[in-house]
């Protein structure tokens, strides 16, 4: 069945979207023929096709979303990608226009690779080209900023859009660009569909009624919930369970003691922070949360809005909790030398005077001592202890897996074992690669040199280990063939991976800045090792510096399928992170499909990866003997296990909350926006605090215009600069019923009326503009062309409306509050007509704009775009643009010249040279004022001396007395000369 028929199947099933279903003809015919009608199938029949491979719960997801619009929330690892691909295939037709928004680059590339190229169109760079591409139909992955502007300018045929698919729906808030685009879409298209996807249930637990507000912003009425404990999911995955073996690796005595001491210090700091802040809700700050991956987000959600109210000790404790968490991670997952190098940095004098005092505790002293003992023995000789998981990993690769392959497949099996080792981050991946290829002793020695850890005297045991590893490598180098391929691009910063548990706080990143820069060329996210012998130490690493990112996948496939099989039973070992920077969490799924591993070793635990392995095995439907075997290397009853269990518990609690919310939520019939009752699309005041102001505003409007409220008024419009669509304000302005007109303007950001121009600045932008001088030039332009220039200083709605405290200022500048306030004062002195408006949030700004426009004339887009350009503007502002701007500004600073008389002086004054030749009477005639003429003549012809009270310091008085004589403080030099002649 063709793609056209697939699309028609969706239209047949979706009764509520009959308009689109009947508007999907063949690309070369305008009407459906009898044969086409005969080929129409239902969605259930579409799922029976052989090329549609979906698990049972994925089929149910597909049917739910095909039949009715809604928001789908699934657990991590139960990917909705295949469901979405089939939905896109169903609607792949030139008669449809399908838009996909809020997708990442890796998702976009993946979906495009799975669809027919003729139905997927790239977004053009120019507006004219985009209009043509829109009319061609098909599927487009488009950025919301471009989409919003095209919708406002009506470049896109809104009525012809078949539907919009929204990814990562948990990020859709009321003021974001995606919500703006959906509102514009629903205003003029009542029949198209909206389908939203999310795989982050925890995000919906933040804030009040988050799931309900998200559904309202998406204009959907249905909520589909798919947790891992869903009966359909369990039934689909349980029959294909893999054989899993948990290997509980005991920690060394020193690591266990360090973990205990760090937890004790964390517990002390948590009690201390709650004791200091008894009136503040500190429920989320617990020792359990301190060791989880989401600790930074928990802290930000809990303390960001009250950060300025906390005392300095509380802020130090919060910073120290982050540092202790990084020390815990380094001790548990990194090698002994790296952990010691990190801990040693926090024992210096510089950090000792800037922490909350935890370094003075006995437990801290034990941490420093034990960390050193992990690297040096009792005789202070260099003998670092290996990572606890290295030995079990070696036994698995050298003994357990080869024996299991012979036992399961026979001694004469030809297929070499393929092993996938999953790590949590690129640092661990690099660590294992170095360990497997050159041995632990040499790797630890290299780490000591890289971290500048003093080696001194090396112990005999460590020397023997290092020499034996080097000899083994030398002996087998001629017989060993090792290939290392890099699947993803190099890591530029460990903190770029959102879910890695090695994210460090800002202070730690600052202290480790040199190491991160040095390690950029070391840490990569995937390595492929093949060797002729089973011993991992026999593998000689040979990193290919010229490996191309774009050539990796075909090389890997060829290597896995043909090269590894042809080379005498070479074992194949792949080191892979759970998620990569380029492909995200889908990287693991792609690697599983390409490699088809026999064994998977979970070096670290990850909920998403475990479920991806379950889903992968359920898709293959292999017999028990042919299924993967999964080994878990885990430190039982440690922080590692607790962090894994906490993530499971938090996800389960999030789903329980969403399920409970769904059972109680009340959804209006008009929430989908398909009826005229969807008042949220038009002018409305949804917040209770706006109810009173709305009635007052309407009353004032009626009094100002003298028109009855029942008479339909022209929709007020605001001209918005195209660059401002990166912010939330245009969306909120439109939500209040104002028309947003996107125009590229050079002066200001928002034009409210022909006289009112607004330049919007956030706090960080304000500081940068004041320091660079850019704001001064912007104010010059606004005051020159607009009668009422306004500088809007807008705060973040999630932060306090407060400009005090060093934490409120930009981290990129060393400016203080005094500097900022002094520069703002100078700004107001230089521009008397400039008005400053302080706004606590974009919501308040939108309300303010509406009130400023009441009863005022509407701005003209062409005039606003012409102002400030090289071409002379026409109309009221044309007269001003005929003169030299520098001369105009200079004259305005002279006494007696004002905005009322400057234009007449410019027209009739000639030049500055001619102005100096004119008499006082002639100047008074030009300025139409005797007083103004005298002031201008005096400033041009009389040398001025400061008044007594204007002189700063005695040195200026002394200099004046020497010039004009002792005791003479006359204002004019002429008067001083006459006084001298009088004395004679």
Point out the least confidently predicted range of 223-227, 355-359, 639-643, 710-714. 710-714
Tell whether the model's pLDDT for residue 50 goes beyond 90.
no
What pLDDT, in 10s, does the model give residues 637-694? 899 999 999 999 999 999 999 999 999 999 988 898 888 676 555 554 344 344 444 4
pTM, two decimal places: 0.77
d(CA 961, CA 968): 6
Per-residue pLDDT band for 45 (boundaries 50, 70, 90) equals confident
Per-residue pLDDT band for 65 (boundaries 50, 70, 90) equals very high
Q: What does the pLDDT read at residue 34?
A: 57
Burial classification of residue 191, based on how many CB atoms lie within 10 Å of its CB (0-12 exposed, 13-18 middle, 19 or more buried) = middle
Q: Among 422, 453, 432, which Cα is nearest to 339's?
A: 453
Helix extents (H) in 596-677: 607-620, 639-664
Q: What is the rounded radius of gyration, in angstroms, for the C-alpha atoms of the chain?
A: 36
Half-sphere exposure at residue 325, Cβ-oriented, CA atoms within 13 angstroms: 29
d(CA 143, CA 159): 20
Query: What is the enclosing helix (H) or strand (E) of 177?
Result: helix 177-188
Structure tokens at 521: 């060329």
Mean pLDDT along residues 316-330: 91
Q: What does the pLDDT read at residue 491?
A: 31
Q: Among 657, 384, 308, 322, which Cα is nearest to 511's?
A: 322
Mean pLDDT along residues 342-354: 88
Q: Which residue has the higher pLDDT, 786 or 581?
A: 786
d(CA 127, CA 152): 13
Secondary structure (DSSP) of 892-932: HTSTT--TTTHHHHHHHS--HHHHHHS-HHHHHHHHT-HHH
Tell whether the model's pLDDT for residue 471 goes beyond 70.
no
Tell whether the model's pLDDT for residue 588 goes beyond 80.
yes
Q: What does the pLDDT read at residue 959?
A: 53
Q: What does the pLDDT read at residue 548?
A: 27
d(CA 881, CA 426): 60
What pLDDT, in 10s, does the model give residues 26-37? 333 344 555 555
Sequence ranges of the domains in the chain: 53-233, 252-374, 388-456+518-534+545-635, 717-803+814-870, 885-941
Q: Do 330 and 338 form a contact (C-beta atoms < 8 A)?
A: yes
Q: Name the CATH topology of 53-233.
A: Rossmann fold (3.40.50)
Topology match between the domains 53-233 and 885-941? no
Coil, strand or helix at 794: strand
Instruction: List 790's β-bridge partners, or say none.
Output: 758, 835
Tell whether the model's pLDDT for residue 528 goes beyond 90.
no
d(CA 137, CA 115): 15
Query: What is the 3-class SS of 702-719, one letter each residue?
Result: HHHHCCCCCCCCCCCEEE
Q: Does domain 388-456+518-534+545-635 sit in CATH 3.40.50?
A: yes
Q: What does the pLDDT read at residue 75?
A: 96
Tell whether the model's pLDDT for residue 549 goes beyond 70.
no
Q: What angle (nearest 5°) sits at the alpha carbon of residue 976, between those of residues 972 and 980?
A: 170
Secondary structure (DSSP) of 286-303: -HHHHTSTTHHHHHHHHH
CB-based contacts of 695: which residues, under 8 Å, 6+ apart? Answer: none
Tell whether the model's pLDDT for residue 908 goes beyond 50.
yes
Q: Do 748 and 772 form a contact (C-beta atoms < 8 A)?
A: no
Tell whether the model's pLDDT for residue 874 goes beyond 50.
no
Q: Do 165 and 195 form a contact (C-beta atoms < 8 A)?
A: yes
d(CA 673, CA 219): 6
Q: What does the pLDDT read at residue 638?
A: 92
Structure tokens at 456: 């001194």
Per-residue pLDDT band for 947 (boundaries 50, 70, 90) equals low
d(CA 604, CA 458): 31
Tell whether the model's pLDDT for residue 863 goes beyond 50.
yes
Q: How many residues does the chain have?
A: 984
What pLDDT, in 10s, does the model give residues 692-730? 444 444 444 444 444 333 334 578 999 999 999 989 999
Point out the least confidently predicted range of 372-381, 836-845, 964-973. 964-973
Find the Cα–Cα–Cα–Cα dihedral 41, 47, 50, 52, rounded to 10°: 120
Tell whether the model's pLDDT for residue 977 goes beyond 80.
no
Secondary structure (DSSP) of 522-575: T--SEEEEE-SSS-GGGPPP-B-TT--GGGHHHHHHHIIIIIHHHTTS--EEEE
Point out the least confidently predicted range of 33-47, 383-397, 449-463, 780-794. 33-47
Query: 803 vs 150, 763, 764, 818, 840, CA distance in Å?
Result: 37, 9, 11, 11, 11
Classify 885-941 by CATH class.
Answer: mainly alpha
Q: Do 618 and 236 form a contact (C-beta atoms < 8 A)?
A: yes
Q: What does the pLDDT read at residue 393?
A: 93
Structure tokens at 640: 């590692």
Coil, strand or helix at 483: coil
Percent of the chain at pLDDT > 90 equals 42
Pairing type for strands 70-74 and 223-226 reads: parallel
For helices 440-450 and 336-345, angle between their N-to-C axes, nearest 10 degrees: 20
Pick the CATH number of 717-803+814-870 from 1.10.390.10, 3.30.1330.10, 3.40.309.10, 3.40.50.10130: 3.40.50.10130
Mean pLDDT computed over every residue of the chain: 78
Coil, strand or helix at 429: helix
Query: What is the 3-class SS of 29-94, one letter each residue?
Result: CCCCCHHHHHCCCCHHHHHCCCCCCCCHHHHHHHHHHHHCCEEEEECCCCCCHHHHHHHHHHCCCC
d(CA 47, CA 25): 22
d(CA 176, CA 186): 16
């Amino acid at each position: 069945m063709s793609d056209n028929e697939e699309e028609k199947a969706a239209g047949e099933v979706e009764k509520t979207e009959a308009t689109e279903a009947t508007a999907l003809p063949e690309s070369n015919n305008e009407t459906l023929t009898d044969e086409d009608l005969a080929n129409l199938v239902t969605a259930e029949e579409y799922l029976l096709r052989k090329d549609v491979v979906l698990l049972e719960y994925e089929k149910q997801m597909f049917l739910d979303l095909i039949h009715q619009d809604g928001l789908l929330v699934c657990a991590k690892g139960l990917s909705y990608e295949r469901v979405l691909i089939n939905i896109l295939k169903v609607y792949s037709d030139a008669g449809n226009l399908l838009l996909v928004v809020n997708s990442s680059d890796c998702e976009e590339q993946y979906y495009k690779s799975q669809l027919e190229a003729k139905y997927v169109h790239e977004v053009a760079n120019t507006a004219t080209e985009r209009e043509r591409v829109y009319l061609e139909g098909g599927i487009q992955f488009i950025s919301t900023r471009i989409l919003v502007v095209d919708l406002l300018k009506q470049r896109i045929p809104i009525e012809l859009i078949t539907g919009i698919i929204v990814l990562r729906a948990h990020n859709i808030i009321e003021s974001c660009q995606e919500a703006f685009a959906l509102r514009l879409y629903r205003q003029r298209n009542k029949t198209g569909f909206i389908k939203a996807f999310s795989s982050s249930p925890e995000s919906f637990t933040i804030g009040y009624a988050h799931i309900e507000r998200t559904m309202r912003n998406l204009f959907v009425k249905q909520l589909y919930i798919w947790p891992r404990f869903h009966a359909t999911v369990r039934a689909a995955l349980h029959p294909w369970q893999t054989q899993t073996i948990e290997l509980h690796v005991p920690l060394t005595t020193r690591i266990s003691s360090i973990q205990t001491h760090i937890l004790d210090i964390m517990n002390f700091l948590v009690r201390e922070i709650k004791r200091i802040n008894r009136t503040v809700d500190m429920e989320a700050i617990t020792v359990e949360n301190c060791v989880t991956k989401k600790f930074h987000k928990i802290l930000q959600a809990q303390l960001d809005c009250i950060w300025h109210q906390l005392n300095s000790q509380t802020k130090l404790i919060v910073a120290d909790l982050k540092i202790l968490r990084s020390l815990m991670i380094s001790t548990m997952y990194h090698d002994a030398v790296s952990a010691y190098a990190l801990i040693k940095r926090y024992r210096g004098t510089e950090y000792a005077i800037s922490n909350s005092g935890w370094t003075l505790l006995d437990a801290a002293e034990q941490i420093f001592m034990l960390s050193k003992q992990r690297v040096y023995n009792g005789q202070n000789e260099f003998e670092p202890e290996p990572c606890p998981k290295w030995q079990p990993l070696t036994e698995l690769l050298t003994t357990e897996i080869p024996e299991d392959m012979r036992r399961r497949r026979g001694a004469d099996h030809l297929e070499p074992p393929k092993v996938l080792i999953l790590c949590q981050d690129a640092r661990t991946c690099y660590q294992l690669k170095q360990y497997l290829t050159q041995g632990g002793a040499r790797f630890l020695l290299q780490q000591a040199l890289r971290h500048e850890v003093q080696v001194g005297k090396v112990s005999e045991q460590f020397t023997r280990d290092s020499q034996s590893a080097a000899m083994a490598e030398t002996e087998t180098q001629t017989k060993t063939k090792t290939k290392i391929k890099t699947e993803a691009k190099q890591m530029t910063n460990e903190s770029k991976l959102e879910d890695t548990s090695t994210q460090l706080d800002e202070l730690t990143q600052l202290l480790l800045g040199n190491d991160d820069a040095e390690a950029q060329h070391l840490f990569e996210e995937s390595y492929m090792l093949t060797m002729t012998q089973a011993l991992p130490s026999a593998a000689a690493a040979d990193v290919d510096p010229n490996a191309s990112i774009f050539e990796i996948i075909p090389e890997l496939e060829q290597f896995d399928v043909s090269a590894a099989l042809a080379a005498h039973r070479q074992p194949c070992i792949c080191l892979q992170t759970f998620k990569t920077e380029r492909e995200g969490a889908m990287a693991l799924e792609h690697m599983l499909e390409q490699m088809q591993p026999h064994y998977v070793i979970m070096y670290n635990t990850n909920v998403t990866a475990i479920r991806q392995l379950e889903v992968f095995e359920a898709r293959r439907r292999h017999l028990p003997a042919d299924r993967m075997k999964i080994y878990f290397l885990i430190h039982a009853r440690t922080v590692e296990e607790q962090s894994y269990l906490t993530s499971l518990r938090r996800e389960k609690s999030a789903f329980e909350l969403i399920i409970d919310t769904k059972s109680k939520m009340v959804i209006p019939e008009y929430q989908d926006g398909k009826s005229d009752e969807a008042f949220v699309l038009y002018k409305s005041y949804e917040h209770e605090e706006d109810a009173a102001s709305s009635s007052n505003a309407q009353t004032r409007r009626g009094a100002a215009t003298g028109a009855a409220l029942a008479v339909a008024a022209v929709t007020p419009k605001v001209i918005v600069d195209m660059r401002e669509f990166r912010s939330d304000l245009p969306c909120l302005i439109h939500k209040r019923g104002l028309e947003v007109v996107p125009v590229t303007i050079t002066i200001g950001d928002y034009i409210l009326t022909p006289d009112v121009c607004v330049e919007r600045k956030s706090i960080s932008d304000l500081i940068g503009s004041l320091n660079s001088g850019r704001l001064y030039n912007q104010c010059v332009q606004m005051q020159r062309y607009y009668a009422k220039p306004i500088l809007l200083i807008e705060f973040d709605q999630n932060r306090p409306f407060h400009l005090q405290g060093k934490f409120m200022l930009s981290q990129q500048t060393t400016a203080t509050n005094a500097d900022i306030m002094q520069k703002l004062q100078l700004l107001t002195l230089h521009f008397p007509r400039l008005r400053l408006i302080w706004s606590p949030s974009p919501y308040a700004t939108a309300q303010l704009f509406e009130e400023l426009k009441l009863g005022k004339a509407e701005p003209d887009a062409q005039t606003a775009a012409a102002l400030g350009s090289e071409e002379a503007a026409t109309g009221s502002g044309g007269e001003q643009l005929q003169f030299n701007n520098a001369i105009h500004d200079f004259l305005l600073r002279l006494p007696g010249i004002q905005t009322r008389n400057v234009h007449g002086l410019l027209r009739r004054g000639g030049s500055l040279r001619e102005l100096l030749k004119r008499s006082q009477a002639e100047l008074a005639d030009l300025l139409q004022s005797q007083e103004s003429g005298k002031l201008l003549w005096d400033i041009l012809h009389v040398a001025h001396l400061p008044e007594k009270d204007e002189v700063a310091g005695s040195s200026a008085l002394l200099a004046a007395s020497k010039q004009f004589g002792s005791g003479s403080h006359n204002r004019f030099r002429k008067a001083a000369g006459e006084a001298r002649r009088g004395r004679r």
